[in-house]
Amino acid sequence: MSTPAPQVTRAPMVPACWLCRGPGRLLYDDCRDLEYFVPGSAVFARCESCGFVFIDPVPTAAELEALYPESYNNFHAPQGVGAFLLRRYHAHQAARCMRYLHPGARFLEVGCGTGALLERLRGQGVDVRGIDLSPAACRLARARGLDVFQGTVEDYETTERFALIFLSHVIEHVPDPVGTIARLTSLLEPGGVIYLETPNVGALDARVWGQEWGLIHYPRHLSLFDRVTIRRLLGSAGLEVLEVTSEINSCGWALSIQGALRRRGWDRSRAPRSRYYPLLLLGCLPLNLVDLCFGGTAFMSAVARRPA
């Protein structure tokens, strides 16, 4: 007998903004999953006070793990053009991390997947740890000899303190981003740094595509930030924000086009990424130059330091 597909059910209405408790208004209506085809729909609200964007209904804790099937794209290494782009991306991430690390420094990656970045940094003498929700991803990371915890940040217990904690496209997946950042701040050594990457809902492609924007990534993205609200989130934990910058990545445009083709019935694939997707990534890269003129690209990074 086949296992029934996970379904997002209605939770109580979100009464107010998760960041400032201000009132929300409808931003995106009837969002659906066109990557993994989880049944159900939801809306996103934007806070009228601070601009933070959040989902309603919020998936329950029991539902969250089921939203990441074994076929989830981040758990599997791409091939061909996708593999080349991912290697370049990991090399860029490692170089950014090493600005705040030295041999022997402790590093924690939240959402480490199969451990590709951890392995790179271990090769440079960094003392690495990882956390990931996926049992399959953790098994692959441990096969590389990496120290990886399977579970959530809230479940992770350690007496260690870290020079750098890195989250690549994780904060938008957690049901309590304020609590998550506060917890991670408590794991930093004095002067330690949080470096995160997340979609930018203020980007040009988000404004062009509206509720068809690929990086809404329903039902796995629970919140969406712009350059202002990501600063507010990090500041809520007492961190000093050092920089918020755009990252060159065409995923927002590429996923939006793929989703539009599926929504209109022109792409009937049930795979998370259609065969033409790597070509979309390459073809849309020049659009990042346009993005930079209109509020930044769809991927942004932020770096914030705990006071010494």
Q: Give the whole-angstrom CA distance, residue 213 versus residue 88.
A: 25
pLDDT of residue 9: 45
Query: What's the Rg (C-alpha) of the chain?
Result: 19
- Among 91-95, 166-170, 286-290, which stretch is predicted with the lowest mean pLDDT? 91-95
Task: Quick: pLDDT tens for 13-31.
Answer: 445 898 999 998 999 988 8
pLDDT at 73 over 70: no
Mean pLDDT of 146-153: 95
Q: What are the helix and strand counts (H, E) for the chain?
A: 10, 11
pLDDT at 87 over 90: no
Quote the mean pLDDT of the chain.
89
Which residues are CB-neighbours of 262 under 8 A, at least 6 positions away?
34, 268, 269
Grade residue 78 by pLDDT with cuts at 50, 70 and 90.
low
Q: Give the whole-angstrom CA distance, residue 58 versus residue 18.
A: 12
Q: Of 238 and 12, which is predicted with more confidence?
A: 238
Grade residue 75 by pLDDT with cuts at 50, 70 and 90.
very low
pLDDT of residue 10: 43
Q: Of 41 and 111, which is predicted with more confidence?
A: 111
For residue 43 the two structure tokens come to 């809306």
Task: Quick: pLDDT tens for 95-144.
Answer: 999 999 999 999 999 999 899 999 999 999 999 999 998 888 899 999 99
pTM of the model: 0.89
Mean pLDDT of 81-98: 79
Q: Of 56 and 292, which is predicted with more confidence?
A: 292
Grade residue 79 by pLDDT with cuts at 50, 70 and 90.
low
DSSP secondary structure of 285-299: TTHHHHHTTTT--SE
How far apart, in Å, do the first and last CA atoms of the chain sit?
A: 57
DSSP secondary structure of 227-272: HHHHHHHHHTTT-EEEEEEEE---HHHHHHHHHHHHHTTS----SS
Among the CATH numbers 3.30.1330.20, 3.40.50.620, 3.40.50.150, 1.10.645.10, which is that of 70-211+226-305? 3.40.50.150
pLDDT of residue 85: 66
pLDDT of residue 179: 95
pLDDT of residue 172: 97
